[in-house]
Structure 1
Amino acid sequence: MSEKIKWGIVGTAGIAKNAIVPAILRANNAEVVAVASRGNKQKADEFADLFQIEKTYESYDDLLNDKEIQAVYIPLPNNLHAEWVKKAARKGKHVLCEKPAALTEEETKSMVDVCNQEKVVFMEAFMYQFHPQHDRVKEIIRSGEIGDVSLMRSSFSFFLDVESENIRLDAQLGGGSLYDIGCYCIHASRFILEKEPNQVFAASNHRLPSGVDLTTTGILTFNDGVTASFSCSFQQPFENGYEVVGTNGKIKVPFAFRPDVEGGKGEIVITNKDGESRTEVVNGDQYALQIEHFSHCILTNEKPSYDGTKSIENMKVLEGCLVSLQNNKIVQL
């Protein structure tokens, strides 16, 4: 049997329970050996019972001190990412950190610097990028089938009870639609177009008194004149797609970020300038593929396809959008 990376889970968040730990169990080169819930051993024990995890801890530090653990997954609130990524790295643990990596570009850079200094692998968990449908989209773009790309549109939205105590609505914890799901749209714009914007503008007329944005729209502008517009919202029906528009046609990906909701099925709809369309179906297990890629990088001492430098670039754009949102002005990057 091939070697497996031993994982520890720092926290019992829903994303860990519903997506990441099941993905580790499906992966061919990873296994979960421990979970921690700060100050709540019972919660950690209940989580462990669901997945037959051997060890539980009631402190994150105790988990990080476990020498058997090689890699950790950090699904903590956004404002805690920087602190615990650094602590994990200094204990020699490789780190898969939930998105967004941190709250600012400076924080992200400091996290990546510590991971580099400690010679551990760091990756921000944008799981969607590991679904093979996006590689196919890039192939179609490069083939010239839709001509020269001039525009990309993306959207990620769902309904969230704004009266709830959800951490997504807490400004102190790094809440807001832009941090939570807008980061996907920003990432996809850079990932699919394979370039960096030089200016951004974002706006929102729907905010809580704390300043947390509930719905935000934005525009990224690139040096060659290409634009990428996006919208993210806690107040709209579930949507998670993007569209790439060219001079001879367009590509639509309706399940771009959460194809797992469709059983792993990705759809790519290609429409030519005459309005004729065809649909390609691409299947994939994006969460398991992410775990397998990260674990492979640890085993082989390779750099992840999405490394810390790229996380810094993504946070630079995200922070630019936040500044634009707060000041109602175009921000040069």
Structure 2
Amino acid sequence: MALRFAILGAARIAKPALIDPLSENPDASLVAIGASTRERALEYAMTHAIPNAGTYEEVIARDDVDVVYIALPPAGHCEWSLKALEAGKHVFLEKPATVNEAEARVLVDAAKKAGKRLIEAFHYRWHPLFRRAVEIVQSGQLGELVSAEAEFSVPIVRNAREFRWQASQGGGALADLGCYPVSWLRQLTGAEPEVTSAHQDLEPDGIDRRTTAHFSFPNGLQADVICDMDPEGGRKPPRLELVGTKGRLDIDNPLAPQYGAELKLTLDGQETRETFPRRPTFAYQFDGIVDAIQSGQPVWTEGADLIANAAAMAAIRRVAATG
């Protein structure tokens, strides 16, 4: 039977992340949109041809919804994920899943008790480009990993409606941008880092404009994470560099290869370049999640991984605050 989805949050991200890929998947349907007001939900429903609209509570309570996709600002993730799980729904949750490690543990525990899935939306992880990168690293071709650098810096417009510039909504460079490079490094290495140093440039309300951190992994890999919502010189392509004793891996745009990306592998001085399909990361992700829920197979970004990514970001904040 096709999975029936509902959206919580009349957000821009819902179109590429759910509405578009769902329209191409015969095993899924979109039943309803929930927003902070019925009026906002109705407007969104009309724009995107969604048959039902209501408040968050009304949508979660529907009997014809199997999966709730939560596209709210991070500060609302824990509350509404818990309510959806308690109502017997699976939860597909925008990143970052929570604003702190404690909330991540609460949600994962709640999902286990409910017997439902709680999956964090790290769309990059499903694309052939990143799957190829994982294959290269875990095959040992690079030898012992020595150093890495991962950056996602992009200008975020400052205005009253932009939650990423609001501490109360769980915004900030680390939460919105840095969660990706943290996840990239963890997924590639299959290990958890120790944060040995970190720095955050804070706004008056405490939001981090820029965050940098240094990771030390158990195998000796030393890695730097960089994220910035107001980068000098403007937008920078997301990038990932990984150096080992036998070679080097460079990826331009590991975040969204559909906009153009290249994987460059250098071994023994010989360089090879690989390109990948322009099919959106979101489409691969959506198909994978539908299949995982229907089959019961685990995925990369749930359970212990969801907690571990939140824990790594919490460690960055803690080290930056204490020096």
- TM-score scaled to structure 2, two decimals? 0.94
Match of 1:185 in 2: 181
Residue 205 of structure 2 is aligned to residue 231 of structure 1: no
Contact 2:264 2:273 in 1 (8 A): yes
Residue 296 of structure 2 is aligned to residue 298 of structure 1: no
**Aligned pair partner of 1:278 in 272, 278, 290:** 272
**Aligned pair partner of 2:212 in 196, 199, 217:** 217
Contact 1:121 1:297 in 2 (8 A): no
Residue 106 of structure 2 is aligned to residue 114 of structure 1: no
Residue 262 of structure 2 is aligned to residue 267 of structure 1: yes
Please say which of residues 60-69 and 232-241 is displaced more in the overlay.
232-241
Instruction: Give the distance between the partners of 2:89 and 2:51, measured in 1 at CA.
Output: 19
Match of 1:248 in 2: 246
Instruction: Give the distance between the partners of 2:213 and 2:318, measured in 1 at CA.
Output: 12
Structure 1 residue 116 displacement after superposition: 0.9
Secondary structure of the corresponding residue to residue 231 of structure 1: strand
Residue 178 of structure 2 is aligned to residue 156 of structure 1: no
Match of 1:331 in 2: none
Q: Following superposition of structure 1 onto structure 2, how do residues 39-118 of structure 1 map, counting pairs within 5 Å?
A: 39=37, 41-57=38-54, 59-118=55-114
Q: What code does the residue aligned with 2:176 have? A: D
Residues 103-131 of structure 1 show CA distances to partners (whole Å, capped at 9, x for unaligned) of: 11111110111111111111011111011
Residues 68-114 of structure 1 show CA distances to partners (whole Å, capped at 9, x for unaligned) of: 00001001111111100000000001000111111111111101111
Please say which of residues 165-174 and 14-23 is displaced more in the overlay.
14-23
Instruction: Give the distance between the partners of 2:26 and 2:153, measured in 1 at CA.
Output: 32
Secondary structure of the corresponding residue to residue 236 of structure 2: strand
Contact 1:200 1:320 in 2 (8 A): no
Q: Structure 1 runs of 4+ off > 4 angstroms?
A: none
Structure 1 residue 197 displacement after superposition: 1.2
Contact 2:142 2:246 in 1 (8 A): yes
**Aligned pair partner of 1:4 in 2, 11, 19:** 2
Contact 2:239 2:254 in 1 (8 A): yes
**Aligned pair partner of 1:134 in 127, 130, 144:** 130
Percentage identity across aligned positions? 28
Contact 1:23 1:291 in 2 (8 A): yes
Please say which of residues 92-101 and 246-255 is displaced more in the overlay.
246-255
Structure 1 residue 273 displacement after superposition: 4.7
Structure 1 residue 185 displacement after superposition: 0.8
Residues 247-306 of structure 1 show CA distances to partners (whole Å, capped at 9, x for unaligned) of: 12211111101223x1xx4421112353x4221112243212211222222212232332
**Aligned pair partner of 2:304 in 298, 302, 309:** 309
Secondary structure of the corresponding residue to residue 276 of structure 2: strand
List gaps (5 residues or longer) in structure 2: none
Residues 178-214 of structure 1 show CA distances to partners (whole Å, capped at 9, x for unaligned) of: 011101111111001111113342102x321011111
**Aligned pair partner of 1:318 in 309, 313, 317:** 313
**Aligned pair partner of 1:22 in 20, 23, 33:** 20
Contact 1:6 1:70 in 2 (8 A): yes
Secondary structure of the corresponding residue to residue 282 of structure 1: coil
Instruction: Give the distance between the partners of 2:245 and 2:67, measured in 1 at CA.
Output: 45
Instruction: Give the distance between the partners of 1:67 and 1:201, measured in 2 at CA.
Output: 49
Structure 1 residue 16 displacement after superposition: 1.0
Match of 1:37 in 2: 35
Structure 1 residue 162 displacement after superposition: 3.4
Instruction: Give the distance between the partners of 2:297 and 2:272, measured in 1 at CA.
Output: 38
Instruction: Give the distance between the partners of 2:293 and 2:221, measured in 1 at CA.
Output: 37
Contact 1:157 1:234 in 2 (8 A): yes
Instruction: Give the distance between the partners of 1:267 and 1:31, measured in 2 at CA.
Output: 34
Structure 1 residue 140 displacement after superposition: 2.1
Contact 2:195 2:213 in 1 (8 A): no
Instruction: Give the distance between the partners of 2:24 and 2:202, measured in 1 at CA.
Output: 39
Structure 1 residue 169 displacement after superposition: 0.8
List gaps (5 residues or longer) in structure 1: 329-333
Figure out how many residues of one structure are paired with residues of the other and give that number. 319
Match of 1:208 in 2: 203
Secondary structure of the corresponding residue to residue 224 of structure 1: coil
Secondary structure of the corresponding residue to residue 159 of structure 1: coil
Residue 322 of structure 2 is aligned to residue 327 of structure 1: yes
Distance 1:305 1:28, change over 3 A: farther
Contact 2:71 2:93 in 1 (8 A): yes
